[in-house]
Copies of this chain bind each other. A is one copy, B any other.
């Protein structure tokens, strides 16, 4: 019998965990990703707010999996999946067949059908997004420094963050802190501490999944930092230079969209049932009902677990557990042993607000303030892939903590884009 071929689509938490579980086992593995790196998305907001560099939170997949001689990495975009012929198409028509398939292509930002909001309010799911936001933020401060128009200056210094989940809360806190401390001494004409940060959340609470005392602590920490928290407020429209709410229009140069995600469209190619958010409904072991050789994991999956109305949430620990479990099921199959259902033990929730405050609900233990922040630092450093990244990130955090500096305040995207445009123009000429 030839060695079974396992194809994994996506090198995020789920896909990478699956590949690592299958490393040096009696299978041939191909991991396909559009990017050459695993991205540690929980720290993406730190790249967006110039605290970390892209390479600090991204690790090349080939490097991570180099020791696994049975694993191949393929850079490419999956354009089709045929579960009947067990075929995956990559890029321009290249195809490969599989014996087992693990689909782990994650989620992307959702603007809830408002395509025109997308360019005005970038999401925060990729390194490109994070650099886009960093660029907008730094440029807004630079322009505010030199404008003579007071209303324009106020608009440039207003930042609206839409969405009160962990990403929105962490972004809002970091923005106030940058304005208040990091940039405070660097400008002559504007007082950066005058920057306004508005956090808009449609539901009644920020960090809704947390217990009430922690939600309230998070809100208090945000307000103490000077963030204007607007819960129960939906965004009606994002227009050029302003955000329209139910009862108010806010003139703002920078709008950040952290309000929703949608699963990868690859899920719709599997011919399986999806929930109303587009996630593929999977069995207790994570596979498809009609195709036990196909697993769907991470943010793409609707896994009922204990409660059909509360499927497992789209967070990194769940993705990691699902990826690992899918790989183990495949190994059980090959060994002739029965599969087991996925048992997920909730690892809890963490969110940081500013420099040394956080809220944490870890295995039922509720923490807030400095101790929660230390837990946050520990958990994130320990789960960051790559030993070098841990050392560099720890160094940068320690430095930033001691000095209030941010290490990556670079504005150069425009220049690079212009250089490239000039080169192309010359080549065509």
Q: Which A residues are within 8 Å of any B CB, using their own CB?
A: 34-37, 53-56, 58, 60, 62-63, 66-67, 72-76, 115-116, 118-120, 122, 126-129, 131-132, 138-139, 142, 145-146, 183, 185-188, 388-389, 391-392, 395-396, 399, 403, 405, 407-412, 415-417, 419-420, 423-424, 426-427, 429
Looking at A35, A74, A146, A419, the one whose CB has the most chain B CB atoms below 10 A away is A419
CB-defined contacts of A399 to chain B, threshold 8 Å: 388, 391
* Complex interface: chain B residues within 8 A of A126 (CB): 412, 415-416, 419
Q: A36-B138, A128-B416 are in contact. List 6 more A-B contacts (CB 8 A).
A: A35-B412, A37-B412, A54-B408, A63-B405, A119-B427, A388-B396
Closest 7 CB pairs of A and B: A128-B416, A62-B186, A53-B53, A55-B408, A119-B427, A36-B411, A115-B426
Does the CB pair A54–B407 fall under 8 Å? no
Min CB gap A408→B, angstroms: 4
| Measured CA separation A131–B127 after assembly (Å) | 14
Q: Is the CB of A35 within 8 A of B392?
A: no
Chain B residues positioned under 8 Å from A35 (CB to CB): 410-412, 415
CB pair A118–B395 under 8 Å, yes or no, is: no
Nearest B residue to A184, CB-CB: B66
Q: Which residue of B lies closest to A403 (CB)?
A: B388
Distance A128 CA – B423 CA, assembled complex (angstroms) = 12
The winner among A60, A116, A122, A186 for most chain B CB atoms within 10 A is: A60
CB-nearest residue of chain B to A129: B419
**Once bound together, how far apart are the Cα atoms of A131 and B392, in whole Å?**
20
Output the least CB separation between A8 and chain B (Å): 15
Q: Cβ of A415 and Cβ of B116 under 8 Å apart?
A: no
Given the complex, which residues of B lie within 8 Å of A56, measured CB to CB?
A: 53
Are the C-beta atoms of A407 and B55 separated by less than 8 Å? yes
Q: Which residue of B lies closest to A114 (CB)?
A: B426
Name the B residues within 8 Å of A396 (CB-CB). 388, 392
Interfacial chain B residues near A417, Cβ < 8 Å: 128
Q: How far is the CA of A34 from the CA of B412 in the complex (A)?
A: 9
Q: Is the CB of B405 within 8 A of A388?
A: yes
For the complex, give the distance between the alpha carbons of A303 and B145 in Å. Answer: 36
